[in-house]
With several copies, the nearest count.
Chain A
Amino acid sequence: MSTVPGRGQPTPYTRGREDGPVRSICEVLAYRKIGAYHQLTIVAPDIAARATPGQFVSLAVEGGGTILRRPFSITGVSQHGPWAGTIDVVLDVVGPGTAWLAGRSKHDVVDVVGPLGRGFPLPRQPATCLLVGGGYGAAPLLYLAAQLQHRGHRVDLLFGAKTGERIFNAIEGKRQASSTRFTTEDGSFGTQGRVTDVLPDIATSTGAEAIYACGPMGMLAAVAAQARERRLPCQVSVEELMGCGVGVCNTCVVPYRRRDGLANVRACYEGPVLDAKRVVWEAIGTTAMAGEPVEQGDAS
């Protein structure tokens, strides 16, 4: 097997075991601009077949001196159609890697590792689920919504963002939920404010029995606090800087109360979906967890 797969080779080239994540060199089937975001549809049958909502993929990028992959939530999979097995990812351009990816178009080749991480656990009994997304955090929730509906759960969506064009795919959202509500900080779309301003009302009116959330860490902490107050189970998909995405570098940790005590769990491996009430929100990015004097320059 070649050490430099890619152009010239038939795509998708896939390497991995019978189950678990694989590495695939895949063709881009479609590129679409959605509001402020870019959506890529990628032909990756092995990944599509193995993925569950809440999992992510890690894409290689080119240009400058970049060496690491970039993680993106899977926002949908399709097992059918002329191209058997595609996945969708949504990009917000924030730096060189996302800029390079947003420049891909049909027939370009991308290098994908996935599906990675722990997805959203689904309710065992029919339940009313409130899905709360911030910005591109809505992406994995659309995939989750489709699966929840398919299994007969009630889905209500609450998506927020800074501006209307950063509300991801409102139309698709409306199609997949019993109710949808949008908030924007500038009031350009939906209710002016934040998701947490309207969450209590919606939770009450829909009779939410479980909350699923994905978005910036600050939003997740606030949603987690509201869920706790209402004693609602809450699963959050967290975001931390990732070096490897596959569990080996220990850069993506989140302080977490495990059965066996406090731990720094890996967002890419034990997460990205975590039980909100176990996350030690106040200790994120602080030395509060360190449990021992932190030595500066203790590089590894």
Chain B
Amino acid sequence: MSAERRPDLRVSLSADPARPLELPNPIVTASGCFASGREIDRFFDIGGLGAVVVKSLTLEPRLGLPTPRMVETDSGMLNAIGLQNPGVDAWLANDLPWLAERGVRTIVSLAGKTVAEYRTLAERVRGQPGIAAIEANISCPNVEDRGMVFAAREEATRDAISQVTRVSAVPVFAKLTPDVTDIAAIAAAAVEAGATGVSLINTLSGMAIDVETGRPRLGGVTGGLSGPAIRPVAVRAIHEVHRALPDLPIIGMGGVRSVPDVVELIMAGASAVAVGTATFADPFATLELVEGLPDWLAERGYRSVRQLRGAVQA
């Protein structure tokens, strides 16, 4: 492939000129599936990825849930980690400088237990060098609403997201759960609250039982289903939101493993594609998608990955 005809992988994830987000390629990591970045940087230079979305950070450090924390299911896995993380302050002190120094485009994922916590979290990360965007993980329980996750309700979505957008100078993505009756309505609520875009989808709520012992296979009883099993749900959710809000940037994710999977999510409406569980099976998964995408495009005569966005004829 001659240099001139190498397809253009650049994507823009913000329609707001005041808060731009340009990535050299559409492949990013899914939150909670890439730890601090150092772990995979042992294998390759993670600076080549479109961006790194870090594990969701909470205000206080969290030890998370007891083991067992995962179980493999048919073409998928359930996890119940319980948002184990060092807390936002420790991350800012120990991890962000390393990422920034290496030139990694970093998207910080924030998870609050209350609406007010989202604001505090957004304030803590505000102005920190090297943060390209915020992903507000609102698919986590709202302790003020009987543990119902924020993104389960339009109002809670609006409340949490507006706390973040109010204090942030960088683009804000609302990470939504697919476990809702109408995901496009939740996405619209996030947009009303000033979100730059949405991240679709978080894991599906699931459960598995050890029939020999009668005990749940997860310490946390229920957990989040990810991996190839859920890709059809991700494609549908992305398509649904993209059809309702065609201009809204979407970071798509859910079961992506191969270059055609990436293309499928982009055709459904994603501007960028995050990879989670696939990295567990192959530490090079994200890099190989960055490398494989140009060939796929070139072989089919596409000049830019942007041509494919929302291109499904439906």
Contacts and interface: CB of A to CB of B under 8 A. Distances in A.
A–B contact via C-beta, under 8 angstroms? yes
A17 B283 CA distance: 13
Contact of B79 (A21, A67, A263, A300): A300
A67 B75 contact: yes
A81 interface: no
Contact of B141 (A285, A289, A297): A297
A290 B33 contact: no
A21 B34 CA distance: 16
Interface stretch (A58-66, A146-154, A202-210, A221-229): A58-66
Given A16-B43, A292-B62, A299-B222, A65 B75 contact: yes
Interface in B252-277: 258-259, 277
Given A68-B72, A269-B39, A294-B220, A287 B66 contact: yes
Contact of A65 (B64, B74, B203, B282): B74
Contacts of B283: 21, 23, 113, 244, 246, 248
B39 A248 contact: yes
Contact of A67 (B66, B72, B224, B291): B72
A282 interface: no
Contacts of B65: 287, 290, 294, 298
**Which of B70, B80, B203 counts the most A-chain CB atoms under 10 A from its CB?**
B70
B66 A286 contact: yes
A105 interface: no
Interface residues of B, number: 64
Contact of B70 (A241, A263, A297): A241
Interface in A201-241: 240-241
A299 B141 CA distance: 9
Contact of A299 (B63, B205, B258): B205
Contacts of A15: 43-44, 284
A295 B223 CA distance: 11
Given A17-B44, A297-B205, A300-B203, A248 B279 contact: yes
Contacts of A23: 43, 282-284
A264 interface: yes
Nearest to A21: B42
A285 B68 contact: yes
A65 B228 contact: yes
A72 to B, nearest CB: 16
Contacts of A286: 66
Nearest to B29: A248
Contacts of A3: 258-259, 288-289, 291-292
A29 to B, nearest CB: 23
B82 interface: yes
Interface string A154-170: 00000000000000000
A250 interface: yes
A298 B141 contact: yes
Nearest to B62: A292
A1 B295 CA distance: 11
Contact of B67 (A68, A113, A241, A296): A241
Contacts of A245: 280
Interface in B190-206: 202-203, 205
Given A3-B289, A65-B76, A250-B55, 10 more contacts: A21-B42, A67-B72, A69-B281, A250-B81, A285-B67, A287-B219, A289-B63, A290-B65, A295-B147, A299-B224
12 contacts: A16-B44, A17-B43, A20-B42, A65-B229, A113-B283, A243-B70, A247-B39, A249-B33, A253-B84, A264-B64, A296-B220, A300-B32
Closest 5 CB pairs of A and B: A299-B224, A65-B74, A247-B39, A244-B280, A251-B70
